Chains A and B, each alone.
Chain A
Amino acid sequence: MSTAINSEPILRIEGLDVSYFTRAAELPAVVDFNLTVERGESIGLVGESGCGKSTVAMAIMRYLGNVGRIVGGTIKFKGRDMGAMNEEELRGIRGLEIAMVYQEPMAALNPSMKIGRQLMEVPLFHEPDCTEDEARRRSVEMLGKVRLADASRVMEAYPHQISGGQQQRVVIAMALLSNPSLLLLDEPTTALDVTVEAGIVELIAEISREFDTAMVYISHNLGLILETCDRVAVMYAGEVVEEALVTDIFDRPRHPYTRGLFDCIPTPGRNKNERPLKPIRGRLPLPHQRPTGCYFGPRCDFFSEGRCDGGKIPMSAAAPDRDHRVRCVRWDEIDWSEQSDTAEARPPAEVGDVVLRVDAMQKYYPVRDRSLAAVLSGRSVRYVKANEDISFTARKGQTVAIVGESGCGKSTFAKVLLGLETATGGKLTFNQDDISATAVADRDTGQVRSLQMVFQNPNDTLNPSMTIGRQIGRVIRKFGVEKSSAKARERVLALLDLVKLPRDFAKRRPRQLSGGQKQRVGIARAFAGNPAMVIADEPVSALDVSVQAAVTGLLMDIQREYETTLLFISHDMGVVEYLADRVVVMYLGQIMEQGTTEEVFAPPYHPYTEALLSAVPIADASVHKKRIVLEGPLPSVLDPPKGCPFHTRCPRKLGSVCVEQKPPVHETVNGHAIACHIPLHELESYDPVIKTAAE
């Protein structure tokens, strides 16, 4: 190989424009996109949904479907123009030189083909003289390299027979089999649980070291980019607005949008009272509604008429020596150090009497197993122990977070609380009434209206065939808040005011609203009957970061004003630290640890809390955290481990005692409780997971 070819970057994209063509119009998805990827380099592509980051990956692969088309610019792979390649040349690059890892591993694998076959196809197809045995040997070897234990079993399995984390490892192995020079990763961990995500992220970081593969890592999560990439490009509305080394972006953002994004993300030590998040106002413009000039202009605090909306804004060098570029005409006029990155601080809210007392609550679901073996052995009915011995209290005006991964029983708990299910044991005392065995149909209106819920999925939370006004109005009348329809209508408008939505939204239907707006309506609906307690089940996890901050802020404000108790269900330790007063950590239906937020987020930790904390990606370059990657998949709730439920994955497992006996609950002074066999003083001696460099 001559040096001339070696000096050529792996990928050079210049002035790329990609559009989608609908019947009505051409929608530009990516505009004037430039990117250079050097050998072995990993580049992060970050932005909110709809910013065009996935389109870039598909354009590189030249796989845009029927409606997408590259309308301008060039993509050069190792100096060869991919635009000029025919189908056959493209095939020679796809899968061999450029490989891809996808967001949904389950969907990315062929459901009716054994995993081994799907892996072996790669070398068998790309290398004509590769034999079956050779392909099999290499596939097994690669499964080992992606840390999949029991590779030969996985080879013989169908995709649905292995867990999500294992599936993603298979997809990564498939991508690496041909030893590609460029790896595209499109949100590879979004569909996975946090502790599983941590394992995949570690693997990806290892790959870039070990295989000398260049990577383009696409994500909406700045924290993940920080952990995996060297350089990062921030995208907004189809454009790159800022590009720099990862540390520069985090320490010296020079675009108001980048800066705004950081202000929306809860980072360690930040909480709702002292340093509230500051959301970006407005919403991402749709492709055909983009303003002239700077696309971010209408949402920008530094907007200057005549300059920002004049014409196309070019990229300018913010720090030429460090290759830091930014698409802003005013970046050098803004005093970046003086800008406050937070909204106004406030004193913590008063906390009142106990509203909810949960005492040894238990919820089992019977599962009938009709297999012959089960019937013969008399074990045909087994129980999913969705909630086992749950005890905690919540006070007036308090925010209690229940945190845990999928299958930990947090949603089941919410269902029992709301009366959609009834508990199979224990007590739930809400406002002095025991409601553990009362289904919602048997509760009186007072009880029903004082316990309401905000749901997770914005597209699912509102009935698509009813107007917003009718949906909120129904709640008002149902709860008897207002009797006359004129008064009820007034109240609907007042509630829209409360959630900061224009009053004419009452006449709209859900599909005319954005995700954030729908969640606001969901909040208005929950608060329509002045509830004493609101359960919020991951209310912002499906929203973009900038919208997340706005919706959480709104929820907090209303809660404070109405002195509502908020039960916040989440998997995200970052959000929980930011807004909770008390935290309950659950794993496989059991409480592992609970206490005030400060207590849970500092040693002594339960080993699971410690792992959760370590798993959360943090968008702050000054933070150092201890790496704890859990081995193995989440066990099935149908067959939870005996003894301590966490023992199968616990990095601090003591031995057989963890397998055989239920752990004792260590209680420190004021209700901080840890269920673990490890003695308290030893737990206290652990280092904190997160250390801020500044402190």
Chain B
Amino acid sequence: MTDRTYGTEPEGATPAEPSALVRAFKTIAIVRESWMASVGLGILVFWILVAIFAPLLAPYPAEQQISPLLNASPGTCAEPDRPYFTSEGMERTTGDECYLLGGDNLGRDVLSRIIWGARPILVWAPLATVLAYAIGIVLGVMAGYKRGWVDDVLSRVSDIILSFPVLVLYIVLITTFDRTNLNILLAVTFASAPGIMRIVRGLVLDLRNRDYVAAAQTRGESSWYIMFVEILPNARGPIIVDACLRLGYVIITLGVLGFLGLGLPPPDPNWGNLIAENRVVALTSPHSVVFPCIALSSLVLGMNMLADGLREISLKD
């Protein structure tokens, strides 16, 4: 080489890449840049903790019926020495049985059922979302990158699925197949994957024309490598935002299905079922439906705020 200078830029002008651990923490820390995202994440973490520690937090077992507290108003305590039946036989109230959020139509503690009810929601909703994403991403990346007939077929099929009003689709699916946890999971996946595919396809259509993709092509990389190593990681921002929104939406869906009597099957308490079971008494003792509604809405609100905050943060850079 010649000894001419080509203006080597000064070193240390920008900080070097930190370790993976530090980056992981930073990723979580960026949430703090937006109060919306922080509050949203807070709500989400709150409900996750409630679900995990349900056995410690719930004052009563979810199924325990204390008939004297049937439809009791919030904060009511049982009068002492009233008889009620359990699976072991007849018991008598001591007077210490207090339902903070009242009792439901079978005399169960609404608060305990809400706490226990967080579990199935926080298991099945994320599971369905992840499954739908796994399918939607793979198909979306293929449709967007390969184009041609693959794209045509996948897009047409997703058009057809998306042309069903979503609840109509669920009703048809769930009445055809049985109402089991797995079938509901599959139904949600089936109905959500096409929408995810469309979003991912759109992102990939944009990214596939980038020069770094052409660079990978000119060095003879396989399509799989290009699709999932070169392209997909660069679509993660919008995908994460959409995933938060969609998780909120799946939670709503599970709630709606439960409410319509088509949701996750009993006896496990879940928020949708709580509302459905007490719908008939909604106008006489509203607390048994109002509180589960608030619980479910708050979790969805958390997801939506997190999504909105993350989008705002991603637009700032």
Contact = CB atoms under 8 A, between A and B. Distances in A.
Interface of A: 279-283, 289, 298, 343-344, 346, 418-420, 440-441, 443, 445, 448-449, 451-453, 455-457, 460-467, 471, 475, 478-479, 498, 500-502, 504, 507-509, 512-514, 516-517, 522, 525, 529, 550, 553-554, 557, 561
Contacts of B5: 281
B156 interface: no
B1 interface: yes
A455 B211 contact: yes
B217 A279 contact: no
Nearest to A468: B17
B6 A554 contact: yes
B234 A478 contact: no
A523 to B, nearest CB: 11
B233 A465 contact: yes
B6 A455 contact: no
B4 A418 contact: no
Nearest to B316: A23
B165 interface: no
Nearest to B5: A281
B89 interface: no
B220 A440 contact: yes
B11 interface: yes
B212 A282 contact: no
Interface in B1-32: 1-2, 4-11, 13-17
Contacts of B2: 344, 346, 557
A282 B7 contact: yes
A70 to B, nearest CB: 24
Given A502-B8, A517-B9, A557-B1, A464 B234 contact: yes
Contact of B220 (A441, A457, A502, A554): A441
Nearest to A299: B7
B175 interface: no
Given A281-B6, A448-B219, A553-B4, 11 more contacts: A298-B10, A418-B217, A419-B218, A420-B214, A445-B220, A461-B211, A500-B6, A504-B11, A509-B17, A513-B14, A550-B7
A22 B220 CA distance: 43
B233 A282 contact: no
A446 to B, nearest CB: 11
B159 interface: no
Contacts of B221: 478
Contacts of B90: none
A457 B4 contact: no
A507 B215 contact: no
**Interface of B: prevailing SS:** loop
A637 B9 CA distance: 43
B212 A462 contact: yes
B218 A448 contact: yes
B220 A448 contact: yes
Contact of B7 (A280, A289, A457, A498): A280
A451 B5 CA distance: 28
A272 to B, nearest CB: 12
Most chain-A CB neighbours within 10 Å: which of B5, B211, B219?
A: B219
A508 B14 contact: yes
A422 to B, nearest CB: 13
Nearest to A298: B10
Given A420-B214, A455-B214, A475-B219, A279 B16 contact: no
B207 to A, nearest CB: 10
A453 B10 contact: no
Most chain-A CB neighbours within 10 Å: which of B1, B11, B215?
A: B215
Contact of B215 (A298, A346, A461, A516): A461
Nearest to A469: B17
B1 A525 contact: no
A21 to B, nearest CB: 14
Contact of B219 (A343, A452, A455, A514): A452
A281 B7 contact: yes
26 contacts: A281-B6, A281-B8, A282-B10, A283-B13, A344-B4, A418-B217, A418-B218, A420-B214, A443-B220, A445-B220, A448-B220, A449-B219, A460-B210, A460-B211, A463-B212, A465-B236, A466-B233, A471-B212, A478-B220, A479-B219, A509-B17, A512-B14, A516-B9, A517-B9, A553-B6, A557-B2
Contacts of B230: 463
A501 B7 CA distance: 10
A346 B3 CA distance: 13
B218 A420 contact: yes
Contact of B212 (A460, A508, A517, A557): A460
Nearest to A343: B4
Counting from the closest, the 10 A-B pairs by CB-CB distance are: A281-B7, A455-B211, A460-B211, A465-B233, A463-B212, A507-B17, A512-B14, A448-B220, A461-B211, A502-B11
Contacts of B15: 512
B199 to A, nearest CB: 18
A462 to B, nearest CB: 6
A20 to B, nearest CB: 14
Contact of B211 (A441, A449, A457, A475): A457
Most chain-A CB neighbours within 10 Å: which of B2, B212, B236?
A: B212
B287 to A, nearest CB: 44
A279 B7 CA distance: 7
Contact of A453 (B9, B14, B215): B215
A514 B212 CA distance: 17
B211 A452 contact: no
Contacts of B211: 455-457, 460-461
Nearest to A453: B218
Interface string B199-238: 0000000000011101101111100000000100110100
Most chain-B CB neighbours within 10 Å: which of A445, A457, A465, A466?
A: A465
A452 B2 CA distance: 24
Contact of A461 (B9, B13, B17, B212): B212
Contacts of B16: 504, 507-508
Contacts of A507: 16-17
Given A440-B218, A453-B214, A553-B4, A463 B234 contact: yes
B18 to A, nearest CB: 9
Contacts of A516: 9
A263 to B, nearest CB: 12
A466 B221 CA distance: 16
Contacts of A467: 17
A550 B234 contact: no
A281 B8 CA distance: 7
Contacts of A514: 9
A151 to B, nearest CB: 37
A279 B210 CA distance: 29
B173 to A, nearest CB: 36
B215 A455 contact: yes
Interface in B249-265: none
A281 B7 CA distance: 4
Given A344-B4, A463-B212, A557-B2, A420 B9 contact: no
Nearest to B11: A502
A461 B216 CA distance: 10
Contacts of B233: 463, 465-466
A512 B16 CA distance: 9
A479 to B, nearest CB: 7
A465 B221 CA distance: 17
B233 to A, nearest CB: 4
Nearest to A478: B219
Nearest to B9: A283
Contacts of A460: 210-212
Contacts of B1: 498, 557, 561
Interface in B49-70: none
A478 B215 CA distance: 12
B303 to A, nearest CB: 25
Given A440-B218, A448-B219, A464-B234, A508 B17 contact: yes
Contacts of A289: 13
Contacts of B10: 282, 298
B172 to A, nearest CB: 35
